[in-house]
Structure 1
């Protein structure tokens, strides 16, 4: 049996080394494999360049061939290229990683020279990594250094948040004034929910918005939605079953021919290959208890019935009951913004919610029927459920936290004695790597549930659901991946001493809490050294592409989708993880400054990995949030500051250092004041575009972008003026000037950017410029800005973010954003109808066989009013399905 000294010995260095060694090895293996396969498996590692269906505007140049050339290539790309390839959402996430890396490097320069010296000579007798942490300081007056350093470092974080919020606001306004975004239907459409009964009358609505062109009222289509959902599900089941039996018939025939045996007769009868009909595919109408039916016979008959009933309901769509929501299209974004900014200043719209930038795909249609009261009740219920989940999830997470210090529990928990006999390597593995892996597995289960609760809570748009998920998931992981882990780790390391002397609890926690930072050093090792290279290597995607995909995909559509469908980033679940890294870093930045370097390296490596994937692998998200996740993430960083400040104050309270408590409270007050100021000043600016900015961008040189307040005062003025005559049709000639400016240029049709639902016959993109996509957007206001940053140093722009003006930011937009969009009037007429109203009959896609079976099934389906096609798909010599072209009625997805 080991002595108490051995069981309580400092293992921080061995724990870190034991974590670093395997993670370095795993990371190196992943990276070497990525380098080896990158140019061999282009569908996995460069699908944006390889897949033919990727729109031209989203197809990057081929990545450099050298093993490391792609890294230097990433850092050379200008802002305009990154925005073009990654989209605004991707660009801002990369900026998030890079800005945090930069501020953490600054943090090292601020904290290390002072705090390492203060801690190392603190005289508290700590060893290992703890010798350079807060826990090694015994003289309470030395903590003044920690306080003043925290003022500098936390102040730099607050300033970073402020300057980036200012930049995002300018960028968002500049983006919306580009011809591409200015002409988007979603940029010209206003969604109002919870409208009063008197506005159910279209004439009443048009009296308030004379410039409006199209108006779509949301209606109750519950039965139609149910039928469409059933049809879609049944079509997939029928298509899969039909392809399966055709494949079986083909392979049986091929096998007979290969063995020189007679083929089954009659060859053109499907039941011949299904044990005379005994092995026909079946399914139950309800899970487990439903009636069992023949999938092929029931499928084609029921699909025919659904096609007829759905078509009838779609024709009579205007007879359904109205819901308290309406979509209003305006001829230009200028008219839309005037109306959008005016809503709060009219008593008729009190309590009405307003949305812009919403595409048809972005709407959560089932929530449009909710009244304000119902939405409030559903939101309370969802919030209560999620709060309870956060609380009770602490139990399994607390166990993980205790494991990180399990060697210190051995004295009191006797059945764990065997652990103390393990080799130091295994002890480091258990206390370092095991808790990190267990924590990652636990966290994977949470985001889907939060998104579901977001829909239940009454969110109107997918963007709202994503924002809801980002905020709640962030709260969840801060509590369960940080607070509980930290507290249980510190408590576990002190439990023996506290039991012996309960009065020493506060002093021991103050001494042990800094040591919990050692767990997070291991955490950053795993995340930073393995996470980025694992993301690049994409082991799962490689296995699916080479092995499982070929086994799992049994229909031409599945094979087509496997090749042509690219992954999209999920920003609502991506941001919180990196916000958590920053919360951990901030909380321990003064207590254990070494963690700052580990976090900085982690952010840099993830920046490189995400840069590659967002340019060459992932496609921009279909629901374009215009980077809206970025300011939300920045504001949520205040949580990390609060926790760091509270943690320091608590440590000073434990040590009864009241002078330090008072001084640290100063930065806490500054943090709170800054947080409230930024939210009050900038939150109203994210979804609006200043009218003066739109007029200036259209070429009206009598206007200028209001850089001094970025449009804050102008919103109120324009909003009030709208109801005092500013909404008169034709009152402002600038509207016509905007339209005229947008339509200048050539008539060359460009390839559309994938992000919407309309077919290419519904929309075309016109080019105003033949510049390369890496070029800059010309300044449409007419003022020459060939060198927009001339005379303004980078240092001046850094400390005065408003020196990065509207023209400067707009000049960094991609040349592709100088294209404008023209929609087919037929598409526009029904664009914001419920998808159930415009849902088309399914086109079943099967492979063509040499036995004539596919032709027979096509005719049978046609008799029931179901479209089945065997074009562009057949069987190879092995009897496997192959596609030779796109699915029937395939249309490229376009921006909406």
Structure 2
């Protein structure tokens, strides 16, 4: 039984000091009511209560999976888009349409298959698979050894209750010697973990080297291109830079200076918006036109449409007359900017809803005429900006892209100190042309960027610390008497049946904590984008560290140890050496909470994501209105979801760290962790092949994997500290501490783990970013290794001119040909001709690949798309 005598602190007075003028009596009561994490409310939970809490989540998940199995063969654009809505060479072979025909093939997919989707994807599948194997072997071994020891560890004087009988909490004072089993198994677990990390880091180095050294990757432009920052003003010339870097073996192929694209992006954004309004207005005209036709024509029009207008010449000519009165009217959007903000060294622009023009008593205008006039004006402005680019008259930023003739030259340059004058001092490798964050590229004031970085970092820390407040509110839901006392409008909870109230108190906190975490993930991603990172890949790598820290602190430390701000600060600052005792007192009591929390989290995740409930609801409702043009519908169908690995790896690093913490303290956790990882693995194996896009511009080439592995040490440290506290804390019946020697050995183990962790990082960290040049010739991996940028492939098809490859995409913008749906009377073709006569660059418009479907019952039309729009790349 864990007991400890502690000093009596005046926490209420301490809270007043911390909160100062913001101190409120109710807030004080709230913050200090519970000096333990709300996960302790699950301590002593019976098996039946735990199963009742999980029953609802399991039932909902099973129902969602059943609907997924039923809908998968029919709604293919949601559940199998990679089989139909991608280029032919990238399509997957669809699985059979049977109810459960997808299950076994998904389970059997080999991990190595996912190499074709990039190293980030491959290593994530490997990450989950390795953790699953670890817990199946080491976790189950702990389960078999320690559960019988814990179960029989009680005495007549002391016995834990409920699920705690299976944990270290059931060890009575008279049987303290049984902790020797836990000590030995802890040493074994730590040793096996260390071996696993070494093995995986070695595998990572070999696989990454083989991948990056493959013939296909070496031939790609991104393998030979660097992004270098802080170029001095006297070197902002391509010829000078080529001459400067001629010392690098292999020489330089191409240099792209980063020109100011603010005005150009402002113009092209308006042009794209005007094109969208033009096509939208023309489709609306079609709908209005056919809505006014007599309903007796509808069946005939539908018949002609299905015959591809073979008999359209039989229609009366008056039906083809252009009627300007049907053209929709609207308030044009209001564009503001660009504005330069010296304080943050950024240039911004924005648009306001056109409806605001009503306050200045402006009248609505023809949507078609406004769009055509705007396009005519922007055509000249865009051409002038392109001319300024060709003549090198645009301002040049202090960053540039340089392509070397071979990969070795790029690797050597990236590892050299290029200047001793504080210039050319920041270098990024493997930069995808579509992954560049041009807003940060434009920032040149290094001091302002540094301050901005520190400010954002401070915000991230504050959020992580203050997040304890909403977590504490959620914790109140598990304490019904307390919440009804503090929040009287929840009095009605006292009138519901006991079973329903118990289900709410056990299940609702887990669900709300999950929802709150999802919200905070978006907040962290937004803040990380403001830290001045120059590529999306850099942002993902930075975000991985912060998001893991946030999740581990808030999803484990806070809800497990202390929910009172004053206690946290007082205990850790005044007595740092008491941390092991703090963990020993609190972690065992929270074990049952994590059984439920992790399971509910996995069931909710898999159920929602397999069914894709948001996409399904939108498909049946709002998309019918949003798909107002063929181009919009095509863009939606072909825009596949992309995984953000920077916030995906940390989630499962935290889950696994929690599993590592409890694998000795409460070994039953292994059963739940294995269940969670199995669900996650099956989901990602299916979705990465059939749902998610295989194109990942923010590919880090596997850099996230070793970081995720090293994050797992957090769980090992917590386990070792907790065991230290337990071994020093527990006393036998005579009041002695018989396990002091084991406690000192565990301290030595902790220090050895820290040293081993540091040594591993020092040894392997260079391989996270750099490519070994002198090494054994790597095996040639699968030729299909994700996005290929070699000159002999479609990789450079983003731009017809290689000289524009690493320039802002606004410089390559051209008006796309109009694309309207085919209609039986030829109205859309008439509209295309009219628009092309007004704007010179609107050429090549067509109706091929899109038709309108006349609805006989509702007298409406729908758009059906069968091909890509004209000029699509």
CA contact (8 A) 2:142 2:667 kept: yes
Q: Where does residue 93 of structure 2 map in the other structure?
A: 61
Q: Name the counterpart of 1:205.
A: 241
Do residues 322 (structure 1) and 396 (structure 2) align? Answer: yes
Does 2:427 align with 1:354?
yes
Post-superposition offset of 1:129: 0.1
Task: Please say if 1:882 is aligned against 2:872.
Answer: no
- What's the CA shift for 1:203? 4.0
Q: Counterparts of 2:803 and 2:217 in 1: how far apart (Å)? A: 20
Task: Provide the C-alpha distance between the structure 2 equivalents of 1:223 and 1:566, rounded to a whole number of angstroms.
Answer: 30
CA distance 1:539–1:218, change in 2 (3 Å): same
Quick one: distance in 1 between partners of 2:405 and 2:686? 39
Shift of 1:607: 0.7
Secondary structure of 1:214's match? strand
Q: Is the 8 A contact 1:252 1:273 kept in 2?
A: no
For the pair 1:226 / 2:308, whether they are aligned, the reply is: no
Measured against aligned partners, the alpha-carbon deviations of 1:585-634 in whole angstroms (never above 9, x if no partner) come to 22322222111210111101211121111122222243133222222211
Deviation, 1:160, is 2.0
Deviation at 1:692, TM superposition (A): 2.7
- Native 8 Å contact 1:363 1:461 kept in 2: yes
- Residue 841 (structure 1) aligned to one of 790, 811, 815: 815
The residue number in structure 2 matching 1:630 is: 705
Checking the alignment, whether the CA contact within 8 Å between 2:214 and 2:779 is kept in structure 1 is no
| Superposed CA offset, 1:286-312 (max 9, x none) | 346456553333222122212211121
Distance 2:164 2:377 in 1: 73
Equivalent pairs, count: 758
**Map of 1:555 onto structure 2:** 629
Shift of 1:438: 0.8
Question: 1:495 corresponds to which residue?
Answer: none
Matching of residues 121-200 of structure 1 within 5 Å: 121-123=152-154, 124-139=158-173, 140-200=176-236
- Is the 8 Å Cα contact of residues 169 and 589 (structure 2) preserved in structure 1? yes
Q: What secondary structure does 1:577 align onto?
A: helix
Query: Residues 689, 862 of structure 1: CA spacing in aligned structure 2 closer, same or farther, 3 A cutoff?
Result: farther
What pairs up with 1:470-619 in 2 under 5 angstroms? 470-487=544-561, 513-619=587-693
Distance in 1 separating the partners of 2:384 and 2:627: 35
| CA distance in structure 1 between the partners assigned to 2:62 and 2:779 by the alignment | 52
Partner of 2:525 in structure 1? 451
1:266-415 correspondence to structure 2 within 5 Å: 268-273=321-326, 280-285=329-334, 286-287=352-353, 289-290=356-357, 294=365, 295-317=367-389, 318-341=392-415, 343-344=416-417, 347=420, 352-368=425-441, 369-406=443-480
Q: Secondary structure at the match of 1:877?
A: strand
Give the C-alpha shift of residue 358 in structure 1: 0.7
Q: Residues of 2 paired with 1:840 and 1:677: CA distance? A: 54
1:665 paired with 2:747, answer: yes
Paired with 2:490 and 2:667, the residues of 1 have a C-alpha distance of 33
Note closer, same or farther for the CA distance 1:855–1:163 as it changes in structure 2 (3 Å cut).
Answer: same
Q: Distance in 1 between matches of 2:864 and 2:233?
A: 55
Residue in structure 2 matched with residue 852 of structure 1 by the alignment: 827
Structure 1, residues 209-267: CA drift from partner, whole Å, max 9, x if none?
A: 2210111111223222222233333433443333223322222326474599x999997
Q: Distance in 2 between matches of 1:425 and 1:144?
A: 40
Q: How far apart, CA to CA, are the structure 1 residues paired with 2:42 and 2:127?
A: 41
Q: How does 1:672-751 map to 2 (within 5 A)?
A: 672-693=754-775, 696=777
Once superposed, what is the RMSD of the aligned Cα atoms?
Answer: 3.8
CA shift at 1:551, angstroms? Answer: 4.2
Shift of 1:461: 0.5
Q: Deviations along 1:377-414, whole A, 9 cap, x unmatched?
A: 22111111122222222211122233335478889999
Q: Tell me the residue number matched to 2:36.
A: none
1:640 to 715, 733, 741: 715
> Paired residue for 1:235, among 268, 275, 279?
275
Distance 2:853 2:491 in 1: 63
Q: Cα 1:843–1:647, aligned 2, differ >3 Å: closer, same or farther?
A: farther
In structure 2, the residue matched to 1:245 is 285
Task: Provide the C-alpha distance between the structure 2 equivalents of 1:321 and 1:282, rounded to a whole number of angstroms.
Answer: 35
> In the superposition, relative to structure 1, how do residues 411 and 330 fare at CA in structure 2: closer, same or farther (>3 Å)?
closer
Q: Which residue of structure 1 aligns with residue 803 of structure 2?
A: 829
- Cα distance in 2 for partners of 1:328, 1:599 equals 47
* SS state at 1:886 partner: coil
Go from structure 1 to structure 2 and tell me whether the alpha carbon gap of 1:655 and 1:226 turns closer, same or farther (over 3 Å shift): farther
In the superposition, relative to structure 1, how do residues 55 and 383 fare at CA in structure 2: closer, same or farther (>3 Å)?
A: farther
Which among 103, 108, 131 is matched to residue 100 of structure 1? 131
Deviation, 1:507, is 9.2
Q: 1:42 to 1:70 in 2, by over 3 A?
A: same
Query: In the alignment, is the contact (CA less than 8 A) between 2:372 and 2:838 conserved in 1?
Result: no
8 A Cα contact 1:135 1:512, kept in partner: no
1:55/1:357 CA distance change after superposition, 3 Å: farther
Distance 2:541 2:581 in 1: 41
Query: What residue number does 2:118 align with?
Result: 87
Q: TM-score, normalised by structure 1?
A: 0.76
CA contact (8 A) 1:358 1:461 kept: yes
Contact 2:274–2:375 under 8 Å retained in 1:
yes
Paired residue secondary structure (1:887): coil
Counterpart CA distance in 2 for 1:229 and 1:98 is 44
CA 1:121 to 1:263, structure 2 compared with 1: closer, same or farther past 3 Å?
Answer: farther
Contact 1:224 1:313 in 2 (8 A): yes
Counterparts in 2 of 1:860 and 1:400: CA distance versus 1, 3 Å: same
